[in-house]
Structure 1
Amino acid sequence: MSDEIVLRPVVAEDLDLFEREFGGPEGVGPYQWFGYRSPGGLRRKFTENGLLGPDGGVLAVAEAGRTVGRVEWFPGSWGRPDTSSCWTLAIGLLPDVHGRGIGTRAQRLLAEYLFDHTRAERLQAWTDCANLGEQRALEKAGFVREGVLRSAQWRGGRWHDQVIFSMLRADLA
């Protein structure tokens, strides 16, 4: 894994890159294409809070100063949100940097960041059962495979099974 990978707050120029690279099926790849979305929502949130708020956030992933993707976190829960909440993580990387360990490093850095700056006890992420690269990246980042969520995600005109992973605060040590 490259030590040159850093997470940083999103800047306005990143929004253009995210729209260009993640606005269509070519950029997000087969496991994250959910149809076209208005880019206005991301820009509106950026204007409101810089994409960092109490309900989650987005950080840019940079390699040697070049933005190569983004990581996100949003609330999840396994019961009443006031007592059973956790953060769910997501990642999007530019296609030309896949397979180089950047996703592993970025997801590990995000886990460290969230455990340092929030009271989270549990982090979780899931990916398509066929997305073996992301499954390997999560495991290398320290996440534990918990199981399969059957028919959990609607994408491309059908339901897809997802593999769920978690990391507990104690797992990071």
Structure 2
Amino acid sequence: MPDEVTLRPVTADDLDLFEREFSGPEGVGTHVWSGFQPTADLRRRFAENGLLGPDGGVLSVAEGDMTVGRVKWWPGPWGPDALACWNLAIGLVPAARGRGTGTRAQRLLAEYLFDHTRAERVQAWTDRANLAEQRALEKAGFVREGVLRSAVWRGGQWHDSVLFSLLRAERAGAPMS
């Protein structure tokens, strides 16, 4: 079991860790890697607003005093009129995986979004083959909704994704391992 898992605002030192750990397939994992991405935008947004804004954000995942990853969220509108949900994603350094850190961090982010925004729904999706992330989302209280066929282009081919959600009304009684 990991040390206490917390979320906190990103620091400049965290940006260095994110660039080092999440710039290649070894850090992000085979189910997420979609090629090299520029990092200048992340640093620009950090300088502008600390990676926190009305259109989403990024928080650092910490175990005790050590940063072990990040969670992020962005709007996921279903319908024409209003924000109905947030999409969320997580990235953990390889050493922090498989110990419950991701489950706890994703649940903490969902709680944070329900506490501080009007969203009714928080959702996440993962590669159909990423069974570890599917288990983490289910343990965090998310409900598997179905498969999005050929939803993500990665590695020269289309991949299916599995969609999960957590509704505001489900948050209080949802189990978390």
Structure 1 length-normalised TM = 0.97
Q: Shift of residue 42 of structure 1?
A: 0.3
Q: Where in structure 2 are there 5+ consecutive unaligned residues?
A: 173-177
- CA drift of 1:34 comes to 1.0
Residues 64-109 of structure 1: CA distance to partner in whole angstroms, max 9, x if unpaired?
A: 11000000000111221x3353100000000011100000000000
Asked whether 1:103 is paired with 2:105, we answer no
Deviations 1:26-85 (A, max 9, x none): 1001011111111101000000100000000000000011000000000111221x3353
**Unaligned ranges ≥5, structure 1:** none
Using the alignment, how far apart are the partners of 1:29 and 1:83 within structure 2? 33
Pick which of 116-125 and 1-10 moved more. 1-10
Whether the 8 Å contact between 1:2 and 1:105 is mirrored in structure 2 is no
Identity of aligned pairs, percent?
74
Question: Contact 1:144–1:165 (CA<8 Å) still a contact in 2?
Answer: yes
1:51 equivalenced with 2:51 (yes/no): yes
For residues 1-173 of structure 1, what are the structure 2 equivalents within 5 Å?
2=2, 4-80=4-80, 82-83=81-82, 85-173=84-172
The code of the aligned residue for 1:68 comes to V
Q: 3-state SS of the aligned residue for 1:59? A: strand
Q: Helix, strand or coil: the match of 1:77?
A: coil
C-alpha separation in 2, matches of 1:100 and 1:44: 33
Q: 1:17 to 1:84 in 2, by over 3 A?
A: closer
Letter in 2 for 1:11: T
**How many pairs does the alignment contain?**
172
Query: Aligned with 1:103: secondary structure?
Result: helix
Structure 1 segments of 4+ aligned residues over 2 angstroms from their partners:
82-85
3-state SS of 2:104 partner: helix
Q: Deviations over 1:90-138 (max 9, x none)?
A: 0000001110000000000001100000001000000000000000000
* Alpha-carbon separation, structure 2, partners of 1:153 and 1:27: 19
Structure 1 residue 2: deviation in Å? Answer: 4.1
Does structure 1 conserve the Cα–Cα contact (< 8 Å) formed by 2:75 and 2:83? no
Aligned partners of 2:146, 2:41: CA distance in 1, in Å?
Answer: 32
